[in-house]
């Protein structure tokens, strides 16, 4: 909710026949806890999602159905193992666990009070210790357009940072909460708190991703309007910027410059089926808004639960993973303990080779919408930055290795020269058989030098041999380790 009121600006109002919202929260998992989390999820009634389980097609989406057969045909063959892993052991895939709730709750804000149906929750375990939670919500029929956007704005604030966002209540009659994060982690998924990596507890934002501003949930939305609704750029902009009510309770647009809103439209709106259906992609939401009727509106909703949801999810994960790898590289340059150069190089390489793909859809519309998501989320820019990071790491490793070799060569040269001068035999005869300890006190300065060179050479050679063995063992362990 903004802290201003726009003056002399008329805002159109529409009736929303149907609205489905999916709120996505990314988080970091504690190291090596995924197996324990899987066990906990199964104990809590969450079911592992696979395309082979056709009985799951209509279990989590209210009155809608997601065809698993069609999902298999939509994504490219190299993408399916990532987003639809066949079993729980596939760590390079999105291991999704889902649970049906179908329970009614209420949300009360300063200018909005409504019930909503919580359909289901997904917990998705992704590679590189990243997880995502998806909360599916169905709003009551025939709400106003402004009320739907206001609900979206209120629900996505995990932890209010300004006073205007703090005046809410959510829950059921006998148990309500004043923050969305408490509603989620105390009522819906209290067990999840044990698995969140909260090393960055001092961050000003709620969440466990210090490189990502995640106090607000990302929204995947589907909004079906009445057939006679007259959409324009301003109203589409409202959805993209999530502009519901201002601080006086009036619907607002969020901008006044029509040229600015037109630029926004050109960069963020996929309008192949205008003026009936629009797809809006921003940093806050990926939404479908339509005034189509009949079977078409049912199909569009199914797509937002199915193929477009997964297309977005993959690119959203790319964004988070790439930002994490960049963040790890910055920690490395700052000299923070626990960051290993070789480990980071392997993680970047495995991400690029096993997970990252720019083309994921086999259908034209899916490709075009995915391109909008990829562009808005800056995936190409982030990937280029990570590739540059990889090149920098290789160069730094080469420089460090070259320095080590130079230092070693200098040491060996010194010992070789001294050994050549003294022949390494000035005091050797005193070490044969029983060591003549009493002769040490009668050594000349040159014999002491020879003794020092011999003993230190033995010690250094032994240390170098031990270090070589340790490096070999570490390399073998690293080659067997799964970084996903």
Q: How far is CA 437 from CA 43, 429, 432, 433, 445, in A?
A: 73, 12, 12, 12, 17
Model confidence pLDDT, tens digit, residues 366-381: 899 999 999 999 999 9
Q: How far is CA 161 from CA 117, 157, 204, 206, in A?
A: 27, 9, 9, 10
Domain shared by 86 and 217, yes or no: yes
pLDDT confidence bin for 251, thresholds 50/70/90: very high
Q: Is residue 8 part of a domain?
A: no
pLDDT at 8: 47
Q: Record the pTM.
A: 0.83
pLDDT confidence bin for 429, thresholds 50/70/90: low
In whole angstroms, what is the distance from residue 289 CA to residue 236 CA? 8
pLDDT confidence bin for 164, thresholds 50/70/90: low
Q: Is residue 273 part of a domain?
A: yes
Q: Is residue 342 part of a domain?
A: yes
Domain shared by 397 and 322, yes or no: no
Q: Which of 361, 392, 419 is the last residue of a domain?
A: 361
Omega before 179 within 30 of 0, i.e. cis:
no
- Give the mean model confidence (pLDDT) for residues 24-49: 93
Q: Looking at the 3D structure of the chain, how many domains does it have?
A: 2
Mean model confidence pLDDT for the chain = 84
pLDDT at 422: 57
The residue among 244 and 463 whose pLDDT is bigger is 244
Model confidence pLDDT, tens digit, residues 8-21: 467 888 999 999 99
Q: Return the SS3 of 219.
A: strand
Q: Which of 361, 395, 410 is the last residue of a domain?
A: 361
Strand partners, 97: 48, 123
Model confidence pLDDT, tens digit, residues 117-163: 999 999 999 999 899 999 999 999 999 999 999 999 999 998 876 66
Give residues with Cβ within 8 angstroms of 186, minimum separation 6: 177
Domain shared by 155 and 287, yes or no: yes
Domain shared by 443 and 352, yes or no: no
Q: Is residue 22 part of a domain?
A: yes
Domain shared by 401 and 332, yes or no: no
pLDDT confidence bin for 315, thresholds 50/70/90: very high
pLDDT confidence bin for 202, thresholds 50/70/90: very low
Quote the Cα angle for 241-203-157, to 5°: 30
Domain shared by 217 and 291, yes or no: yes
Is the pLDDT score of 426 beyond 60? no
Q: Is residue 366 part of a domain?
A: no
Is the pLDDT score of 221 beyond 70? yes
pLDDT at 159: 82
Angle (deg, nearest 10), helices 445-480 and 341-350: 30
Model confidence pLDDT, tens digit, residues 37-95: 999 999 999 999 999 998 999 999 999 999 998 888 889 888 999 999 989 988 889 99
pLDDT at 348: 86
Is the pLDDT score of 312 beyond 60? yes
- Is 350 exposed, middle or buried, given 0-12, 13-18 or 19+ CB atoms closer than 10 A? middle
pLDDT at 204: 47
The residue among 269 and 442 whose pLDDT is bigger is 269
Lowest mean pLDDT segment, chosen from 212-226, 340-354, 392-406: 392-406
Q: Which of 327, 361, 395 is the last residue of a domain?
A: 361
Q: Which helix (H) or strand (E) holds 438?
A: none
Model confidence pLDDT, tens digit, residues 87-125: 998 888 999 999 999 999 999 999 999 999 999 999 999
pLDDT at 329: 77
Domain shared by 300 and 424, yes or no: no
In whole angstroms, what is the distance from residue 257 CA to residue 111 CA? 26
Q: Is residue 9 part of a domain?
A: no
The residue among 138 and 354 whose pLDDT is bigger is 138
Domain shared by 230 and 284, yes or no: yes
Produce one character per residue of 147-174: b if its CB has 16 or more CB atoms within 10 Å, e if not.
bbbbbbbbbbbbbbeeeebeebebbeee
**Torsion (CA) 148, 149, 155, 157 in degrees, nearest 10:** -170
pLDDT at 257: 92
Q: Is residue 415 part of a domain?
A: yes
pLDDT confidence bin for 421, thresholds 50/70/90: low
**Torsion (CA) 392, 398, 404, 407 in degrees, nearest 10:** -110
Domain shared by 105 and 202, yes or no: yes
Domain shared by 234 and 292, yes or no: yes
pLDDT at 479: 59
Lowest mean pLDDT segment, chosen from 59-63, 164-168, 312-316: 164-168
Domain shared by 400 and 444, yes or no: yes
Full domain range(s) for residue 116: 15-361
Q: Is residue 343 part of a domain?
A: yes
Domain shared by 292 and 175, yes or no: yes
């Amino acid at each position: 909710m903004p802290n201003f009121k726009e003056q002399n600006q008329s805002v159109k109002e529409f009736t929303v026949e149907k609205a489905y919202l999916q709120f996505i929260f990314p988080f970091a998992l504690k190291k090596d806890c995924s197996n324990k989390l899987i066990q906990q999820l199964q104990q809590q009634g969450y079911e592992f999602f696979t395309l082979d389980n056709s009985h799951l097609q209509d279990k989590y989406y209210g009155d809608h159905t997601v065809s698993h057969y069609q999902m298999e045909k939509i994504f490219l063959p190299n993408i399916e193992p990532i987003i639809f892993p066949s079993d729980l052991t596939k760590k390079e895939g999105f291991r999704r666990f889902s649970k049906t709730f179908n329970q009614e709750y209420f949300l009360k804000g300063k200018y909005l009070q409504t019930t909503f149906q919580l359909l289901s929750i997904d917990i998705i375990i992704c590679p590189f210790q990243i997880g995502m939670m998806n909360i599916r919500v169905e709003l009551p029929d025939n709400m106003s357009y402004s009320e739907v956007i206001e609900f979206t704005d209120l629900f996505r604030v995990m932890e209010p940072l300004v006073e205007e966002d703090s005046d809410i209540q959510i829950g059921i009659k006998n148990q309500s909460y004043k923050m969305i994060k408490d509603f989620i982690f105390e009522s819906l998924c209290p067990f999840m708190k044990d698995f969140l990596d909260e090393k960055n507890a001092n961050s000003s934002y709620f969440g466990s991703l210090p490189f990502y501003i995640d106090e607000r949930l990302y929204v995947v939305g589907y909004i079906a309007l009445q057939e006679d609704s007259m959409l324009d750029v301003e109203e589409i902009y409202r959805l993209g910027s999530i502009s519901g009510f201002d601080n006086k309770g009036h619907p607002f647009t969020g901008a006044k410059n029509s040229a600015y809103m037109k630029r926004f439209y050109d960069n963020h709106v996929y309008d192949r089926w205008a003026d009936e259906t629009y797809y809006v992609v921003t940093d806050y939401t990926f939404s479908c808004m339509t005034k189509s009727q009949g079977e078409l509106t049912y199909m569009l909703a199914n797509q937002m639960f199915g193929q477009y949801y997964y297309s977005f999810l993959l690119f959203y994960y790319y964004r988070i993973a790439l930002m994490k790898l960049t963040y790890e590289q910055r920690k490395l340059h700052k000299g923070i303990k626990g960051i290993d150069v070789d480990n980071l190089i392997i993680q970047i390489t495995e991400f690029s080779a096993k997970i990252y793909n720019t083309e994921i859809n086999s259908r034209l519309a899916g490709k075009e919408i995915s391109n909008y998501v990829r562009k808005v989320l800056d995936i190409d820019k982030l990937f280029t930055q990570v590739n540059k990071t990889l090149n920098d790491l290789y160069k730094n490793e080469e420089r460090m290795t070259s320095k080590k070799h130079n230092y070693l060569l200098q040491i060996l040269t010194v010992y070789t020269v001294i050994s050549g001068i003294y022949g390494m035999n000035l005091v050797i005869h005193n070490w044969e058989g029983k060591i003549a300890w009493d002769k040490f006190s009668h050594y000349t300065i040159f014999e002491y030098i020879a003794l020092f060179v011999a003993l230190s050479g033995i010690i250094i050679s032994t240390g170098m041999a031990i270090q070589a063995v340790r490096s070999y063992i570490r390399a073998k362990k690293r080659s067997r380790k799964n970084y996903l």
